[in-house]
């Protein structure tokens, strides 16, 4: 591993280009793209520490932890404050469940990168690299704080990570997690609703409109249930009565599955319902498919929990929409008309 020396202006620009691209690929989960960027870095300068750090990150995400640690340590022996290598070390600590070490590493990195961001300004060529690493570091810190029972700190990091996101869908996903985490502390009703309603602003969707259609006695009412949790999950214990005890003469039931399948899923599929697997579908596509099923009432069973259906509900694919069971607070969406609960 060579000590870094000043590069000529053109070479420095080339380096920043592949580093920015590697950072983008990292955010996208494109390991092949990251490796290609590291190869470009090695081509421009053999023994480049930034290329080694990118390779360390690829090794971490690929499960090659020994290689990741070796590469990260090599980078840190040359540049002890290297941001990407420190992120890799934090990731390794997380995999070993050394949460105190992970939290300390990430908190130190976040403090330093936050200062550098302010110092550089958005026009600096290095800003994008620091910005993306900072956003990811805050997300990782939120996970670690949650696991050690620091829900308030986790919520703060999720909020900050959401604000740093350049993509609206990523910002909305992080903000949704923030809202979920806020349930661990008491909020006034008005404050809680205002924070929840901000989520809708991040989605930037135009809901469908539905003309009023007089109900025909000849047509069955179509009920849809949408959830990532038609699987081994706490919510799955509440679902069977919904799929078992309905009047098939007057109702049709559709299930829209957003999550992975398991043995519980297969049991649900044997019920007299129409099953739709929407896992991996973009929200707009999923909403269109639900709309084409002419659902009358769509019931969301996840709220702001993990991998939820709210980006789909925001399109209002059904004229009447309800949320409940999987989440016990407001979604913040004006397209959700009712909340399912026990009698208050």
26 and 151 share one domain? yes
Q: Is 127:111 a contact under the CB 8 Å cutoff?
A: no
55 and 160 share one domain? yes
Mean pLDDT along residues 62-91 = 97
Question: What is the per-residue pLDDT across 80-113, written as a single tens digit (0 to 9) for each?
Answer: 999 999 999 999 999 999 999 999 999 999 999 9
Band the pLDDT of 8: cuts 50, 70, 90. Answer: low
236 and 118 share one domain? no
Question: What is the per-residue pLDDT across 106-141, written as a single tens digit (0 to 9) for each?
Answer: 999 999 999 988 777 666 667 888 899 999 999 999
Task: Say yes or no to pLDDT of 219 above 80.
Answer: yes
321 and 247 share one domain? yes
Q: How high does pLDDT run on average in the chain?
A: 92
What is the residue range of 264's domain?
221-340
Residue 1 lies in a domain: no
Mean pLDDT along residues 256-283 = 95
The pLDDT of residue 191 is: 77
31 and 80 share one domain? yes
Residue 211 lies in a domain: no
194 and 279 share one domain? no
Among 199, 234, 268, the domain-final residue is 199
- Indicate which CATH number applies to the domain containing 246: 3.40.50.11380
Among 164, 199, 234, the domain-final residue is 199
Number of domains in the chain: 2
Mean pLDDT along residues 299-303 = 97
195 and 231 share one domain? no
- Indicate which CATH number applies to the domain containing 15: 1.25.40.10
CA 307 – CA 176 distance, rounded (Å) = 10
CA angle centred on 316, ends 342 and 257, rounded to 5°: 70
Residue 66 lies in a domain: yes
The pLDDT of residue 3 is: 54
Mean pLDDT along residues 131-156 = 96
Question: What is the per-residue pLDDT across 316-342, written as a single tens digit (0 to 9) for each?
Answer: 999 999 999 999 899 999 999 999 988
Among 199, 230, 249, the domain-final residue is 199
Residue 118 lies in a domain: yes
71 and 131 share one domain? yes
């Amino acid at each position: 591993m060579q000590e870094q020396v000043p590069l000529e202006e053109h070479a420095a620009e080339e380096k920043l280009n592949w580093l920015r691209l590697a950072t983008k690929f990292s955010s996208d989960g494109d390991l092949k793209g990251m490796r290609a960027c590291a190869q470009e870095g090695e081509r421009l300068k053999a023994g480049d520490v930034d290329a080694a750090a990118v390779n360390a990150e690829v090794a971490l995400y690929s499960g090659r932890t020994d290689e990741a640690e070796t590469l990260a340590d090599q980078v840190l022996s040359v540049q002890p404050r290297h941001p990407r290598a420190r992120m890799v070390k934090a990731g390794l600590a997380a995999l070993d469940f050394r949460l105190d070490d992970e939290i300390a590493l990430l908190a130190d990195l976040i403090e330093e990168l936050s200062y550098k961001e302010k110092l550089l300004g958005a026009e600096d060529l290095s800003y994008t690299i620091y910005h993306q690493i900072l956003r990811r570091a805050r997300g990782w810190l939120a996970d670690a704080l949650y696991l050690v029972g620091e829900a308030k700190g986790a919520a703060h990091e999720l909020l900050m990570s959401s604000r740093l996101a350049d993509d609206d869908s990523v910002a909305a996903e992080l903000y949704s997690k923030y809202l979920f985490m806020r349930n661990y502390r008491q909020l006034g009703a008005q404050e809680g609703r205002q924070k929840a309603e901000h989520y809708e602003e991040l989605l930037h969707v135009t809901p469908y409109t539905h003309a009023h259609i007089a109900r025909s006695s000849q047509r069955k009412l179509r009920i849809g249930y949408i959830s990532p949790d038609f699987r081994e999950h706490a919510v799955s214990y509440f679902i069977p009565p919904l799929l078992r005890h309905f009047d098939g003469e007057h109702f049709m039931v559709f299930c829209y599955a957003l999550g992975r399948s398991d043995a519980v899923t297969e049991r649900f599929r044997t019920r007299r319902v129409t099953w739709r697997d929407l896992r991996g579908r973009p929200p707009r596509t999923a909403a269109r498919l639900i709309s084409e099923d002419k659902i009358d009432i769509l019931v969301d069973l996840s709220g702001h929990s993990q991998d939820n259906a709210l980006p789909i509900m925001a399109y209002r694919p059904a004229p009447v929409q309800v949320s409940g069971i999987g989440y016990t607070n407001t979604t913040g969406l004006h397209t959700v008309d009712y909340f399912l609960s026990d009698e208050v």
